[in-house]
Amino acid sequence: MESSTLYRQPSIQAEAPLDKKNRPSLESLILILVIGILSTSSGSILVRFSQEAPSLTIAFYRMLWACLLLAPFYWLSSSPRPAMINKGLLIAGCALALHFAFWIASLRYTSVAVSVLLVNTSPALVAVYSHFSLRERLTRRGITGLSLALSGSLVLVWDDLSRLGDWRGATLALLGAVMLGVYLLSGRTIRQTRSLIHYVYPTYVIAAAVLGILVLLSGYSLTGFSTRTYIFLFLLGLVPQSLGHTSYNWALEHLSATTISTLILAEPVLATILAWWLLGEEVGPVIIVGAVLVGAGIYLVSRWGIETAPERSSVSTS
């Protein structure tokens, strides 16, 4: 899963209950979700097509284009505009920048299937943090899901080591998952007081600024690439970032985060199919086993893994 606020918590739902009169039709919801899944699934493929540019440069242009494309929606928004930057937004923006820096770099060293599967383990990492630091408890199904996700991740890392002799791709993808988890946790608090656009746009601006600084410090170039590469860099900002994640976050106003986080498990599957079709990447039996374990684990964690304090109280008094 790439960077969208999809962890199963009440705080990232819509700020106010939706009027049933304004609820979109089932057909509209399905269409938007299909667009979101297809859009985010294309991210790893577009990264591969952009690899004439360094990984940090690719990450920077992805966020830069997303900022430019979303700027009109932010500045023309009729809702009250809170402060552009605060501590929470800084943490979220830095985490998002590092998420893309690590994950995009991982695609140079491992397959799309392994990279996308491992970066999607972030809900499991968030669940562990929530268990130890927040008023939430891992259920038995959650512990089982974590065990499955960890086992699947180890299978994928082992496959990279035995098949490629290189651990960098899997490790970078897991670091990307950690940073995505930090981003999700930050968003849980911020979204209680901010509308979607007033959370997403400042976060993207901060992420773009951080990535720009990293590019300059690393001595990488922002220019000198082919027209084809610039087109793919633009498409990265447009399709998976602006269109895909906006679709997910729009759907969060009308469906539970649990439902959406379950549905987007289709993303690694579609990304793997696209990589096989467009890039000729083979998917061996070991990767399939790892994918099944990770997918089953994330499903259990996302759907039944965490009990909040109110949920435990209601159970005990019923």
Cα–Cα distance for residue pair 272/278, rounded to 1 Å = 10
- The per-residue pLDDT for range 60-70, each reduced to its tens digit, is 999 999 999 99
Question: What's the confidence (pLDDT) of residue 231?
Answer: 97
Determine contact, residues 2/207, Cβ cutoff 8 Å.
Answer: no
Whether residue 266 contacts residue 33, with contact meaning beta carbons closer than 8 Å, is answered with no
| Averaged pLDDT for residues 209-220 | 97
The model's pLDDT over 26-40, given as tens digits with 9 standing for 90+, comes to 778 888 888 888 999
**Token output for 212:** 């720009």
Q: How far apart are the C-alpha atoms of 18 and 254, rounded to whole Å?
A: 7
Whether residue 280 is predicted with pLDDT greater than 80 in this model: the reply is yes
Q: Give how far Cα 307 sits from Cα of 10, 136, 183, 191, 301, Å.
A: 12, 5, 21, 20, 11
Q: What is the pLDDT of residues 76-86, one digit of tens each?
A: 887 777 877 88
pLDDT at 4 over 60: no
Mean pLDDT on 194-204: 88
Q: Which two tokens stand for residue 10?
A: 């009440």
Q: Compute CA distances 205 → 7, 60, 198, 217, 222, whole Å.
A: 22, 10, 11, 18, 17
Residues forming a β-bridge with 138: 306
Q: Is the pLDDT of residue 8 over 70?
A: no
Rounded CA gap, 263 and 40, in Å? Answer: 12
Structure tokens at 236: 């990265």
Distance CA 46, CA 118 (A): 18
For the CA atoms of 287, 293, 298, 304, the dihedral, rounded to the nearest 10 degrees, stands at 170
**CA pair distance 61, 70, nearest whole angstrom:** 14
pLDDT at 11: 35
Highest mean pLDDT range out of 24-28, 180-184, 240-244?
A: 240-244
For residue 128, the model assigns a pLDDT of 81
Which tokens in the block code for residue 237?
A: 């900002």
The percent of residues in the chain predicted with pLDDT above 90, rounded, is: 43
Q: Work out the widest C-alpha separation in the chain, in whole angstroms.
A: 66
pLDDT tens, residue by residue, 132-171 = 776 778 888 888 988 998 899 889 989 888 887 888 999 9
One-letter-per-residue 3-state SS of 67-90:
HHHHHHHHHCCCCCCCCCCCHHHH
10-27: average pLDDT: 51
Residue 3 has pLDDT above 80, yes or no: no
- Which pLDDT band holds residue 184 (cuts at 50, 70, 90)? confident
